[in-house]
Structure formats: structure tokens, C-alpha cells
Structure 1
Amino acid sequence: MARLFDLSILITSNLRDRVLSVLVALLGLLGLCYGESVMEYGAVGDGIADDTSAFQKAWDDTCKGRSNMGSVYVPAGKTFLLNSLHFTGPCNPKPIIFIIDGDMIAESDTKKWQKDENEIIPWLIFDHVEGLVIAGRGLLDGQGKAWWDIHCRDHPGPMMTFSNCGNVTLKSLRLRNSAQTHVLIMGSQNVYINDIKITSPEASPNTDGVHITSSSAVSITHSDIATGDDCVSVGDQVNNVNVTFVNCGPGHGVSIGSLGRGGTEVAVENIRVWHVNFTRTTNGARIKTWPGATGHVRGIEFFDIHFSSVQNPIIIDQFYGCTTPKCTHTRKAVHIEKVRYMKMSGTSATKVAVKLECSEKSVSCSNIFMRDIDLSPANGIDSVSSLCNFVQGLAQGIIRPSSCL
């Protein structure tokens, strides 16, 4: 059954990739022939002049159907300096094609950044857009270094945000050095991310690769993510997510959570993390929830995972953010159930390679399944072990270190 599902993913993604490649190539040629680009709206592209208004006008005309084609074209060989941009829908053309072959860089001068006292301003936000393809060979550079030494509450928001969008494709771009999260998906459905490369220094704070919240049907595939925080993080009210064929590291791994901060009710289910390589990350396959919350996390599957010198290869932490002994005794917790760990191998950089720390018996982790787990110590570690608290489950096949289920 697993092989059949995996094959269906490959067939669907390959077909979609071929159609998108042809479409983007044609639109790129048409854009060059007819001058359908941000340059026609006054963009300079020298990396010095502020091109924000030109991009905004290009989007507004395209969204309202006033341009010859439903596309925005960012030409190669140019560098566009941009402040905050709000690409708002709904739009008349469907889909809208945003071709980025040039480089787009965020304003790095903290004094020139547009700010709002009541909210964090994102760099590029797509809001209420149905049918959107963003693709090309270009680079998006958040120039976040100027912000990383400043308190996070003062940073600009994510590099690229999809808010209340549907049927979105993000393909083949490079993103680097966001002030905070690189890609945020919120309140959106049917989002497909393929063949992207996200990079920021290992010490850069809160620079998650992709964060998903209040969304469904999200796919992240065939991508490389190296950041200072989670490569992929799944927030609350999320279902049906596929993370497949991803290289993660450095960073904090692929995290379900953190969930339930402030005692909220959690609903996360049907998350599949398949064919992922973790290299020198602080965590690998992680689920983290705050004590005192309610709700559920269920239907989580980690399959065909490889770890290379990872500090916490397999971890469930139901006491995330717990700073006092009192919070470890709360009788409220998110119920974590139906979690499957299968075909996982590699090396652990800490002695406890498998750590499943769950809450009291009334909300213990249940129906946890492990099969064919083979973890050995990384250089400098003499042995590895497993730790389980309040976990109900079953282990089959080769299990190293010995199962604590």
C-alpha cells in the first residue's frame, strides 16, 4: 500500500512538473517578446533604486485583467530592491503566472523598512489569490543579517506568505537569508512546493524553511532546506501534508509543532514525511506540544528517513516550553496517537536516539508503531538508547537501539 501511494505521488508530481515547465517557458518567451515585465512599469533593476511601486503596479494590472496576459515577469540579469509588497486578490485571470528569473532583494536598511505598530509586516504576501504559479530561475534574498541581532518582535515578517490562497505552485526558486520564516502558508489549500532551495546560516534565529498553519493539502517535495530553525514546521489546524524527497540540514528538523501554546485546542492530522535526509540537525522527526493544551495529533507517518549525526533523531516532547515542575503534572495535554516510524536509519549525536516523552496516563501517546529502526552512535558517542514515558505502542522488525515501547 505504501508503494502504491508513493507511486501515485510521483506520477502526479511528474505530470504537473512537465505541464508547468512548458507553461513557464512559453510565458517567459512571450514576456520577452511583448515586453510584459516589471520593467514596463518603471522598475530599474540595479539593486539600488527602490522598485517596490513598479512591482505593485504590475501585479495590480495583472490581477485586474488589464494586462495582455495573466502574468508578471521578472527578467533575468537584473536585481530588484523591494520593500514590503501586498499582492492582493481575488484576481480575474486564473491562473496568474509570476515568473521570477531575476533577483529580488529585500530592503536591508532597518530604518527604511515599512512598519506597523500593531503587526509584523511581511516582505511578499499573496492574499486571497486563487490559482497562482510562482516559478523561475531567480533568487529571493531577504538580507536578514541586519535583523538577526535585533529582537524577533521587531523583525519584518516572513519572506513569502500565502494567506487564504488556493491552488498555489511554488517551483524552482532559490530563497535565502530571510529575517524570519522563509515561506509561510496560512489559511490556504492545495499548495504545491517543488524543487526549491532555501538557505540561511545555522545561527540565524527563527528562519524556518516552510511553516504551515490553518491549511490543508500542502506538498513540499524534491527540495533542499538549510536554515537556523525548522526545515519544515507544521502548526495548528493543519491536515493532509506531504513532505517528500527533502534534504534537511542544518536546522531543527521537521517538526509537528509546537502546538497548543496558551492552552489552545489542537487539531493536526494526516502528515506524511517520506524519503527525507537529515544532516547535522538538532532534531529529526519531531512532535512537540505545550502542556495544558487539548485536542489531538494523529495520523503521522515518518517513512524512509536517514539521519547523519542528528542530535535527537526521533523525538516526541509533550512538555515543550515547560519551565517549572508544576507544568509537568498538568492533566491536560494534546492526545498524540497513530504515529508510525518506519525504515529509519543513521547516526545519533546524542546518547538518547529515541525519546518519547508523553504526559500522564489519561492523555498518554497511543498507537505508536515502529518498524525497522536502525540507529547507531555518531563519532564521539559510545552507545545509544531509547527512552519512553507513558507511551503505548508496538515495535516490529529490526529495532536499534532496543525498543522501549
Structure 2
Amino acid sequence: MAPHLNIVPSMFVLLLLFISASKVQSDAFDVVAKFGAKADGKTDLSKPFLDAWKEACASVTPSTVVIPKGTYLLSKVNLEGPCKAPIEINVQGTIQAPADPSAFKDPNWVRFYSVENFKIIAYEKNTYENREFRSKLPVNIRFDFVSNALIQDITSKDSKLFHINVFACKNITLERLKIEAPDESPNTDGIHMGKSEGVNIIASDIKTGDDCISIGDGTKNMVIKEITCGPGHGISIGSLGKFQNEEPVEGIKISNCTITNTSNGARIKTWPGEHGGAVSEIHFEDITMNNVSSPILIDQQYCPWNKCKKNEESKVKLSNISFKNIRGTSALPEAIKFICSGSSPCQNVELADIDIKHNGAEPATSQCLNVKPITSGKLNPIPCSGPVPKTPSASA
């Protein structure tokens, strides 16, 4: 049986097995035997872990960082590359995060930075204790400037902020993930990414209090497929247009997903106001919606908590967007909402083979503003058959 890592904080569980892509024999760096770590559940593992990582990373031959059986406390760790040879982290013990959120002085708990050609495989078997926190909250696991990576079988429960954050990464696949947070927990996005290219998210189960997957600016050529999402806020492009100099989002395909009991389904959201941007070649296909409040949504009046310039149009340009073979049920009558910018109307928005029924007595409707969708196949509801809301949306 492969070794595994159990991380058991009181608020969330993130259980990881780290292993490099290399199968060759490697030198071992034992955090207990060589670096003085204590498996007592009280002594911080951070320094021995980091010291072992640094020596292993500097090795010119393949190496393994070993965390033996036992219980360890980990306050935080930043694992930085590049490394000189293949590196493996073999964790056989249980690693706990601090129960008190005030102990987190860093915005991240576990962070990988500038690492190439590696795998992460994980195992999970524990529960969580939900609490209310008011301090600054950390991200469970963060990937910055990581390339050519495969991340498999991570389970993240009850993160205090984003579960997984992907930034400036290239050619990285996240597969068979399990992510869970209470449906009322804010800002607990399952996976958030930005300024990354060639990211794939596959065959994962995400239950959160925010977006299951959120796609920020600078994301290109991304595939999301075989995701089960819900509860939460659906799968979202954005939000965009809040900040200056945001990079375009392009080439995103979301397919073969099931979205259940969420506030939104397939969504694109941009802020009204002065900052521009561009979103193009976004394709949602073969998606099942179960009791979703807004199954198909383009919202260019996105204004959570009414904190926006309500009298301005969004400057983000949307083009070449398709919604195909989307079926299921809507919790509200408005199954489709296209609320596009008056100054930059949506271009080439396609609806094909849509069949969404309202769960209530009223029929499902479709609302359109500043867009003329291209249609084909069976369409229920009839495109643009309902009135358009005039006020910015106040939900996140």
C-alpha cells in the first residue's frame, strides 16, 4: 500500500500523498531521524519539513523526503523549486493544522512555488468541526508558477478560504478531487485560478459555499469535465472587470458536468464600471442542472452586496460563447438570463438544444438584454421570452 498523509485540522481536512513522477531509486531525507521532527502532535513540523525539502531539492540525484508514522503539527510550509533532480515526498504519518485560525500569519497553509514535473496523490478519511472565524483566513493549498504537474485524489474539507488556488501555472491537471465546505461558508471557492494556461480539472466532486470553480483573468486553453458541483454558486467565469489591466480569458470548455442545488449553474460574471477586459471562446456543453436557481447566466451587472458603480456599464467584452445540450430543472422561473453590457453588447452567443424546466407551477422563462443569441435545436424555455431585470445582481 502506498504511504499516505492525514491532515486533520479542526476546521478542515486536507490529506495528501506527495510523490514525484520519477520511479527511480532515490536518497531518503527523514524529517525525524535527520532533521529532529517530533511526532507528538504539538511540536511544529514546519522547520524540519522545510529543511528536508531544501536538502532534497538541492540534491543532484533523485531524492525522497520521508515523514514517518506518527502525529505532527504543521503551522505552514512553502515548498519552493526549481529542484535539481526528481523529488518525492513520502508521508506516512498524520499532519494536523492549528485549530486556532489566529495562528495563521500567512495567507496560505501549504504552498508549492516554481516546481516542475511532479505528482501529488492524496487520501482522505476524516471529518471536520465547523466553527465561525473572524481573522484573516488561509488557502488550504496553493500552486504558484507550477508547470507540467499532475495532482490527483486530494480531499479538502472546510477550508477557511479557497480550497485550492492556482496562479501562473502551465500544463497542470487536477483530477479526482473531493472538496467540501458548508453551503453557507463565504469565499470557500473549490478551485480558483488566474493567469494560467493549459489547466485541466477532471472527474471531481465539489461542494462549497461559493463557486465550485472560479476562473479569473489571464486563464487560457482550459478544460473542465466530469465535475459534480453543489451546493455552491456553480461554475463561473469571473468575476472580471473589477481591476485595471486584467488579462483576457479565452479558450475555456466545460463539459459533462452535473450541477445540483446551486445558486448558479453555468455563469459568466463581470462588474459594471470603468475597467475593461475580454472573454471569448467559452463553451458549456452536455451539462445537467438539478434545482439550480440560475442555470444559465451571463451577468454583466454583477454587483455582490451592492458594492459597485451601479450607473455604469461593464467594459468587459464577451464574444463567441456557447451553451449546448444543457438540461434539467430550475429552482426559479428565470432559467436563462443574458444580461449583457449596453456599451459592449455580447457577440456570437449561441444556444443549442436547451431543455430546462421550472420546478414550480410557472413555466421556465428566458431573459435577454443587449444580446441577440444564435439558436438551434430544441429550446425550452424560448429564448428571450421574459422581462429583463434592471438592477445589478446583489448575490455573489
Please give the TM-score of this superposition, normalised by the length of structure 2.
0.84
Q: Does 1:125 align with 2:105?
A: no
Equivalent in 251, 254, 260 of residue 270 of structure 1: 251
Indicate if the aligned counterparts of 1:38 and 1:73 stay in contact, CA closer than 8 A: yes
Say if 2:81 is the partner of 1:84: no
193, 217, 220: which one pairs with 1:212? 193
Within the candidate set 181, 189, 204, 1:200 is matched to 181
**Within the alignment, does 1:72 sit opposite 2:68 as a pair?**
no
Counterparts of 1:43-192 in structure 2 under 5 Å?
43-65=37-59, 69-74=62-67, 78-94=70-86, 96-100=87-91, 102-113=93-104, 115=105, 121-138=107-124, 145-146=130-131, 148-150=132-134, 154-192=135-173
Q: Contact (CA 8 Å) 2:208, 2:230: kept in 1 or not?
A: yes
Q: SS of 1:252's equivalent? A: coil
Match of 1:309 in 2: 291
Instruction: Choose which of 345, 359, 363 in structure 2 pairs with 1:383.
Output: 363
Structure 1 counterpart of 2:144, which letter?
S
Matched residue of 2:301: which SS? coil
In the superposition, relative to structure 1, how do residues 97 and 391 fare at CA in structure 2: closer, same or farther (>3 Å)? farther
> How far apart, CA to CA, are the structure 2 residues paired with 1:65 and 1:376?
60
For 1:139 and 1:44, locate their aligned partners in 2 and report how far apart those are by CA, in whole Å: 23
CA distance in 2, matches of 1:246, 1:149: 29
C-alpha change, 1:140 and 1:42, in structure 2 (3 Å) is: farther
> 1:211-290 counterparts in 2 under 5 A?
211-290=192-271
**Partners of 1:195 and 1:222 within 8 A in 2:** yes
Give the 3 Å change call, closer, same or farther, for CA 74–271 of structure 1 in structure 2.
farther
Aligned to 1:345: 327
Determine if contact 2:73/2:98 at 8 Å carries over to the other structure. yes
Deviation at 1:79, TM superposition (A): 3.9
1:46 and 1:200 map into 2 onto residues whose CA distance is 28
Question: In the TM superposition, what is the alpha-carbon distance from 1:89 to its structure 2 partner?
Answer: 1.5
* CA distance 1:50–1:356, shift in 2 (3 Å): same
Question: Structure 1 residues 215, 277: closer, same or farther in 2, change over 3 A?
Answer: same
Deviation at 1:226, TM superposition (A): 0.9
Q: Counterpart of 1:177 in structure 2: which amino acid?
A: D
Shift of 1:320: 1.0
Q: Which amino acid aligns with 1:208?
A: D
Please report how far the alpha carbon of residue 48 of structure 1 lies from its aligned counterpart in structure 2 after TM superposition.
3.5
Paired residues of 1:102 and 1:139 also in contact (CA < 8 A): no
Q: Which gives a bigger RCO, structure 1 or 2 (Cα 8 Å, sep 6+)? A: 2
CA distance in 2 between counterparts of 1:102 and 1:224 reads 26
Question: CA 1:322–1:207 in structure 2 vs 1: closer, same or farther (change >3 Å)?
Answer: closer
**How much is the aligned-residue C-alpha RMSD, in angstroms?**
2.9
Question: Structure 1's 355 and 69: CA in aligned 2 closer, same or farther, altered over 3 A?
Answer: same
What number of residue pairs does the alignment pair up? Answer: 367
Normalised by the length of structure 1, the TM-score is 0.82
**Structure 2 unaligned runs (5+)?**
1-16, 386-396
Mapped to 2, the partners of 1:301 and 1:73 lie a distance apart of 43
Stretches of structure 1 lacking an aligned partner (at least 5 in a row): 1-19
- Distance, in Å, in 2 between the alignment partners of 1:129 and 1:21 is 13
Give identity over the alignment, percent: 33
Structure-1 separation of matches of 2:139 and 2:336: 32
